[in-house]
Amino acid sequence: MRTAGPTTVTRTRPTGTWLVWGAAVLVYLLGVTQRTSLGAAGLDAAARFGIDPGTLSLFVFLQISVYAAGQIPAGLLVDRYGPRLVLPIGGLLLGLGQGLLAFSTALPLALGARVLVGAGDALAFSAALVLVARWFPARRVPLVTQVTTIVGQLGQVLSALPLLLLLHAAGWSTAFTVAAGASVLSALLAAALVRNGPAHWRAPTPLSARETLRQVGTVWKRPGTRLGFFGHLGTQFSMMTFSLLWGLPYLVSGQGLAPLTAGSLMTLLVVASIVVGPLVGVLTARHPMRRSWILLGVIAMTAGMWTVVLTLPGPAPLWLLVLLVLVLAVGGPASVVGFDIARTTNPGPNLAVAQGMVNVAGYSASVLVLLVMGGILTATGGFSPAGFRVAWLVQYPVWAFAAVGILVTRRKARRVDAARGVVPRPLRDVVRGRRGSAAA
């Protein structure tokens, strides 16, 4: 994994810094657009390729699996060759993947296109975060990282409404060709504007493969890393499963909404996540000793809302679906609490490895749920209300697994904290607004 090098910005004009950031975040934003494009075009993809829901889930499975597996290799490539080279390559891979999908009629070729999208997405995300660390002063890096993530998630808005409208107005090939062209243009812009670092920046020495593997084992043994892992797993996957593939088909075929209304709800999911993100961040900062309670609370709230929707005998009223989307929107920001726990329970040289492990958790759970839901929908006759009602039940064992993991690893993490003289304050002190330390 990468280690951020010294950041020197004293001789760099602010305009130049923001131009580099803007070019990088554009590639990342469009990467999110391409990543979530099948969430908007799932029904159209099923019709175009003549496939059942189980086969459709393979598209997202391959893409997200490649994205998750590519986190460490992408970081190593960025360390060795720099964001200036890797970021445009990521944009070109995204464009190539979407361009291939635009004219694919054979399933193997289409699946290969999603592999390219997953690889390009991993490179773009890794390079963008490294540029933030290199170009901005250390005191501003956390804020700019949050802004980068928020802006990037707006890419889902582009896939939920503009891409969907273009798809229905001009057809599959035109819509995905436009999407591909946008990523290619962003890659060219990045090649023209991005530099590896500001004046007098010195590249860090890349870690060897042996040292990286040694760190992986050491970091995983720390209870705080595993606590962040289970927290990320339990809070993110429901939102990801909904937004990446099954949300829009469920709202249209399972709940009977018009495609435009369903697309608007998908957009609301992104907007609500943007609004909730800073609030979760403030709550985490003010109550660091209770971060595991935030994770457990979000899991319970999400499971409870799904229970209400799934137990209704017929379609849910629109207001309840809006409430479901708003609750799901909390899952993304809440999963970032897992990164914060990993950050405060691992030393500086291990942070990238620890946060990479945490990042894999939610995506792995999402892939698993996506696949199993696809198989259930296929076995129950396709995109039907009854099929979706059964398929969404797959989430409950995952929530239970994550909750048990949080409770077990929290106990171990607190034993480590106690050995260092750090113990949680009584809940009454928390209610009175007294701050604790950075334990879990």
CATH number at residue 50: 1.20.1250.20
- For 22-62, what is each residue's pLDDT tens digit? 999 999 999 988 887 876 677 788 888 887 777 777 777 78
CA 122 to chain centre: 11
* Residue of 16, 28, 108, 25 whose CA lies nearest to 62: 108
Q: Are residues 284 and 362 in the same domain?
A: yes
* pLDDT given for residue 244 in this prediction: 77
Q: Are residues 410 and 335 in the same domain?
A: yes
Q: Are residues 288 and 415 in the same domain?
A: yes
**Whole-model pTM above 0.85?**
no
269 in any annotated domain: yes
* Residue of 118, 91, 106, 116 whose CA lies nearest to 55: 106
8 in any annotated domain: no
Q: Are residues 179 and 258 in the same domain?
A: no
Any residues with CB less than 8 A from the CB of 214 and at least 6 apart, and which? none
Rounded CA gap, 289 and 431, in Å? 12
Q: Are residues 227 and 99 in the same domain?
A: no
The DSSP string of 233-293 is: HHHHHHHHHIIIIIHHHIIIIIT---HHHHHHHHHHHHHHHHHHHHHHHHHHHH-GGGHHH
Q: Are residues 137 and 254 in the same domain?
A: no
The DSSP string of 24-47 is: HHHHHHHHHHHHTHHHHHHHHHHH
Rounded CA gap, 401 and 381, in Å? 29
Largest CA distance in the chain: 65
* pLDDT given for residue 2 in this prediction: 39
Q: Are residues 41 and 125 in the same domain?
A: yes
177 in any annotated domain: yes
Q: Which residue positions in the chain have pLDDT lower than 70? A: 1-15, 39-40, 72, 75-76, 79, 138-143, 145-146, 160, 199-209, 212-213, 347-353, 417-440
By CB neighbour count within 10 A (0-12 exposed, 13-18 middle, 19+ buried), where does 323 fall?
middle
Which 8-state DSSP code applies to residue 350? G
* pLDDT given for residue 5 in this prediction: 41
* pLDDT given for residue 424 in this prediction: 56
Report the alpha-carbon angle 170-172-175, nearest 5.
65
Cβ atoms of residues 25 and 128 within 8 Å: yes
Structure tokens at 320: 């309840």
Q: Are residues 181 and 250 in the same domain?
A: no
374 in any annotated domain: yes
Any residues with CB less than 8 A from the CB of 166 and at least 6 apart, and which? 174, 175, 178
* pLDDT given for residue 73 in this prediction: 75
428 in any annotated domain: no
Any residues with CB less than 8 A from the CB of 209 and at least 6 apart, and which? none
Rounded CA gap, 284 and 228, in Å? 13
Q: Are residues 270 and 358 in the same domain?
A: yes
192 in any annotated domain: yes
Q: Are residues 146 and 44 in the same domain?
A: yes
302 in any annotated domain: yes
Domain boundary among 165, 196, 227: 196
* Residue of 293, 47, 240, 16 whose CA lies nearest to 134: 16
Q: Are residues 185 and 223 in the same domain?
A: no
Which 8-state DSSP code applies to residue 251? I
355 in any annotated domain: yes
Residue 23 is which amino acid?
Answer: A
Q: Are residues 167 and 290 in the same domain?
A: no
Rounded CA gap, 439 and 5, in Å? 27
Domain span holding position 266: 218-420
Q: How far is CA 323 from each of CA 235, 269, 328, rounded to the nearest angstrom?
A: 17, 10, 9
Number of domains in the chain: 2
